[in-house]
Structure 1
Amino acid sequence: MAVLEVVDVVRRFGGKHAVTALQGFSMTVEAGEIVGLLGVNGAGKTTLVKIVATLLQPTSGTARVCGYDVTVRGRDARTHLGVVFGGDRGLYGRLSAVDNLIFFGGLAGIRRGLRRRAMEALEHVGLADRAGTRVETLSRGMRQRLHLAAGLLHQPRLLLLDEPTTGLDVVEAQRMRDHVAGLARTGVAVLLTSHYPVDVDQLANRVVVLQDGINRNDLPIARFRELAGFVAEVRITGTGPQPRGGDGQEIVATADGWTMTCRLHRWDAATLAMLTEITKGYAVTDLQVTPVGLEGVLHSLLGGRG
């Protein structure tokens, strides 16, 4: 049984001029799997997350967490569910980090060993040394990790992460990704939404693209990257005479020389030989290889709307 099952979920807003945010959307998330949910603004991502989190009821269809229907047995579903929306709201600035967790743990119905669990959660996210620190004095990255700790208090089997690295510097963002990857290795299922493709690129096993309320694509991340039609882009810079180039190679004159850009459909010995041949005898000063990223794939799929 999947940890999360979403089956034919429809959600409409409004009356006479109703807007349909989800149109028969279906997906699953297995234990230990990180699924990246991608889509442009208005695609229905937040609506879906709120339905799974039992914050919003679907118009029709079902969502189940560990077998519990989120509309019929929402309380049971929530016992297996951790939700991390992050941001600056949702924490009490004048309380310490551990007191925030104790408060949220009490709301979640945890009675036995609550302080111990709170300290364990702080340890897990690297904040044990800040347990007694008032939240208002913590950095944004630390507050984001505290949000994660709050979502882990009741040891959920499914974690919903909505934009977990928004506003974080590169160090804190990577630290957050490391924590999430570690959770998945323990068997926690993760549904991740993010406007930062690097989050999904580094973490996800699968990618689901939500477009106009439907599941447009649902693929392992390696196969999803293949949808771009190329594996990498090469940018070669040189001085002096320009190479002649060939099919699929764009050469642009610059103030200092020239730049050639080409997309590679595979990365192997033959490709290296081709790059060597077309630049042979020319003054190459720089060569940069950029593997195809999720942002490029998404942009291609959504016709420039990604």
Structure 2
Amino acid sequence: MATSGPAIEVAGAGRTYGSGANRVTALDDVSFTVAEGEIVALLGANGAGKTTLVKILATLLLPTTGRVLVFGADVVDRVKEVRRRVGVVFGGDRGLYTRLSGRENLRFFGMLAGVPRAELRTRAPAMLERVGLAEVADRRVETYSRGMRQRLHIAIGLLPRPRVLLLDEPTTGLDPTEAERLRDTVSELRHDGVSVLLTSHHLLDVERLTDRVVMLREGTVAADLPLAEFAALAGYAAAVTVTIRHPLPELEALLPAEVDVVTRSESAEGTTVELRLPSWGGGMFGRLGALLDRADVVDVQVRPARLEEAFTSFLTRRA
């Protein structure tokens, strides 16, 4: 259902604990929005305030100051309305009844969420199919792998048709295959207009899924950037690792001034140099290619800047 306003609106939100000398500020004047169908990553070091904010959006905590709205409904004054619109997936091994089957868990939590029985009969099988658990739906959850349990958490979170999904560390502990399958499930949600706020220490989740990054630092918004702009904080666009069979002493001197040489090592195969390029532009690669034509190249590897490096660089620059 389309709407003219944001899915999530956080306006000057603050949250403190304790009083006097024991007063702790977890959030301080936090403001940002999430549009309908947008997937936004909420990042920050441990203690930055991410969990506190997610709990406020889930109506498990109240903000001390400011306003937090979900499709215009205030988390303080319209709690029931917010809960109907928000699905929460904290995931992990807890929160499921392991002696029940996946289907039984889904039905139980669906009833708790107020999903009508008639709708459960059709929607539960559809959710199990969507997250790839249809064939094991009647097995006890105690036999499920961690990835299967995580996908069951997603199915439970989606069952009441939430318009906003809060995901906390969805791929923690999953093997690469399970993690990628879970990312596919989450990515498909944008086509249904579901808005997702994702917290994760696995920045591959952020890279694969999100449109934007909101960075918290000591309880405040330190950055709110499109994913590409956040990635650019790494300080380079691409890394090129070149192995040359025979040394080319003048290589570094002939490189464009804006190209950084990060490492240089010698091995039985030859000389390996890692370069960092400021842009992906064809002109830059053309100049580099012309230079390498003069060398006996054994191998060339190219990769984009890693989001982990952008994250670390951001924290370091503003320390």
Specify the alignment match of 1:200 in structure 2. Answer: 206
Q: For residues 250 and 140 of structure 1, do their structure 2 counterparts lie closer, same or farther at Cα, with a shift above 3 Å needed?
A: closer
* Residue 129 (str. 1) matches residue 142 (str. 2): no
* Residue 178 (str. 1) matches residue 193 (str. 2): no
> Is the CA contact 1:11–1:58 (under 8 Å) kept in the aligned structure 2?
yes
Query: Equivalent residue of 1:79, what SS?
Result: helix
C-alpha separation between the residues in 2 aligned to 1:217 and 1:301?
9
* Residue 84 (str. 1) matches residue 89 (str. 2): yes
C-alpha separation between the residues in 1 aligned to 2:41 and 2:24?
25
C-alpha separation between the residues in 1 aligned to 2:35 and 2:265?
51
Moved more, 52-61 or 217-226: 217-226
* Residue 255 (str. 1) matches residue 259 (str. 2): no
Q: For residues 108 and 250 of structure 1, do their structure 2 counterparts lie closer, same or farther at Cα, with a shift above 3 Å needed?
A: closer
> Is the CA contact 1:236–1:284 (under 8 Å) kept in the aligned structure 2?
yes
C-alpha separation between the residues in 2 aligned to 1:234 and 1:243?
18
C-alpha separation between the residues in 1 aligned to 2:287 and 2:72?
54
Cα deviation, 1:108-161, whole Å, max 9, x if unaligned, reads 122332232222211111111222111101111111000000001110000001
- Of residues 20, 24, 38, the one that matches 1:19 is 24
User: Match for 1:107: what amino acid?
Assistant: L
C-alpha deviation, 1:14, in angstroms: 2.5
Specify the alignment match of 1:2 in structure 2. Answer: 6
Query: Equivalent residue of 2:267, what SS?
Result: coil
C-alpha separation between the residues in 2 aligned to 1:267 and 1:88?
42
Matched residues, percent identical?
52
* TM-score, reference length from structure 2: 0.91
Q: Greater share of helix residues, 1 or 2?
A: 2
C-alpha deviation, 1:273, in angstroms: 2.2
* Residue 227 (str. 1) matches residue 233 (str. 2): yes
Specify the alignment match of 2:194 in structure 1. Answer: 188
C-alpha separation between the residues in 2 aligned to 1:181 and 1:243?
48
C-alpha separation between the residues in 2 aligned to 1:62 and 1:187?
23
Cα deviation, 1:216-255, whole Å, max 9, x if unaligned, reads 1111112222233321111112232234213422452323
Unaligned 5+ runs, structure 2: none
C-alpha separation between the residues in 2 aligned to 1:277 and 1:117?
59
C-alpha separation between the residues in 1 aligned to 2:171 and 2:162?
20
* TM-score, reference length from structure 1: 0.95
C-alpha deviation, 1:53, in angstroms: 0.5
Moved more, 218-227 or 273-282: 273-282
> Is the CA contact 1:9–1:23 (under 8 Å) kept in the aligned structure 2?
yes
C-alpha separation between the residues in 2 aligned to 1:112 and 1:143?
23
C-alpha separation between the residues in 2 aligned to 1:269 and 1:262?
16
Moved more, 294-303 or 105-114: 105-114
Number of residue-to-residue matches in the alignment: 306
User: Match for 1:91: what amino acid?
Assistant: L
Aligned-pair Cα RMSD in Å: 1.7
C-alpha separation between the residues in 1 aligned to 2:204 and 2:318?
18
> Is the CA contact 1:243–1:278 (under 8 Å) kept in the aligned structure 2?
no
